[in-house]
Amino acid sequence: MIEVWAPYATRVRLRRPDLPDADLTATGDDGWWRSPVALADGDEYGFVLGEADQLRPDPRSRRQPAGVHGPSAHVDPASFAWTDAQWHGRPLAGGLIYELHIGTFTPEGTLDAAIGRLDHLVDLGVTHVELLPVNAFNGTHNWGYDGVLWYAVHEPYGGPAAYRRFVDAAHGRGLAVIQDVVYNHLGPSGNYLPEFGPYLRDGHRNTWGDSVNLDERAVRDYIVDNALMWLGDFHVDGLRLDAVHALHESGDQPQHILAELAERVDALSAHLGRPLTLIAESDLNDPVMILPRTAGGYGLTAQWSDDWHHAVHVALTGETAGYYADFAELVALPKVWTGGFFHDGTRSSFRGRDHGIPLPPEVPSWQLITFAQDHDQIGNRAAGDRLSATLSYDRLAIAAVLTLTAPGTPMLFMGEEWGASTPWQFFTSHPEPELAAATANGRKAEFARMGWDGSLVPDPNDPATFERSKLDWDEVDAGDHARLLDLHRRLAALRRERPELTDPRHGQRGAAAAEAPGGRRFELDRGAARVLVNLSAEPWHVAARPGEEVWIATAEPGRVGGTWVIPPDAALVTGPPR
Feature table: binding site for substrate = 240-245, 306-310, 375-380
Tell me which residues are annotated as active site: 242, 281
Q: Give the three-class secondary structure for 220.
A: helix
Strand 238-241 relative to strand 176-181: parallel, antiparallel, unpaired? parallel
List C-alpha distances in Å: 314 to 105, 225, 307, 322, 338: 27, 41, 11, 11, 17
Burial 387-426 (b: 16+ CB within 10 A, else e): bbeebebbbbbbbbbbbbbbbbbbbbbbbbbbbbebbbbb
- Listed residue (528, 573, 574, 578) closest to 397, CA to CA: 573
- Listed residue (390, 402, 420) closest to 534, CA to CA: 402
Compute the C-alpha angle 330/331/335, nearest 5°. Answer: 150
How many Cβ atoms from other residues are within 10 Å of residue 263's Cβ?
Answer: 14
Binding residues: 240-245, 306-310, 375-380
Whole-angstrom Cα distance, residue 442 to residue 440? 5
Q: Give the three-class secondary structure for 98.
A: strand
- φ and ψ at 83, to 5 degrees? -120, 15
List C-alpha distances in Å: 413 to 131, 278, 388, 400, 459: 11, 19, 12, 12, 23
Sign of CA dihedral 101, 106, 110, 112: negative
Whole-angstrom Cα distance, residue 525 to residue 521? 13
Runs of H (alpha helix) within 50-192: 102-105, 111-115, 118-124, 159-172
Residues 7 and 27: beta-carbon distance below 8 Å = no
| CA of residue 285 relative to chain centroid, distance | 17
Q: Calculate Rg over the CA atoms of the chain.
A: 25
Q: Give the three-class secondary structure for 59.
A: coil
- What are the CB-based long-range contacts (under 8 Å, 24+) for 466-470? 466/103, 466/104, 466/141, 466/427, 466/429, 468/422, 468/423, 468/425, 469/104, 469/384, 469/422, 469/423, 469/424, 469/425, 469/427, 470/103, 470/104, 470/105, 470/106, 470/107, 470/109, 470/422
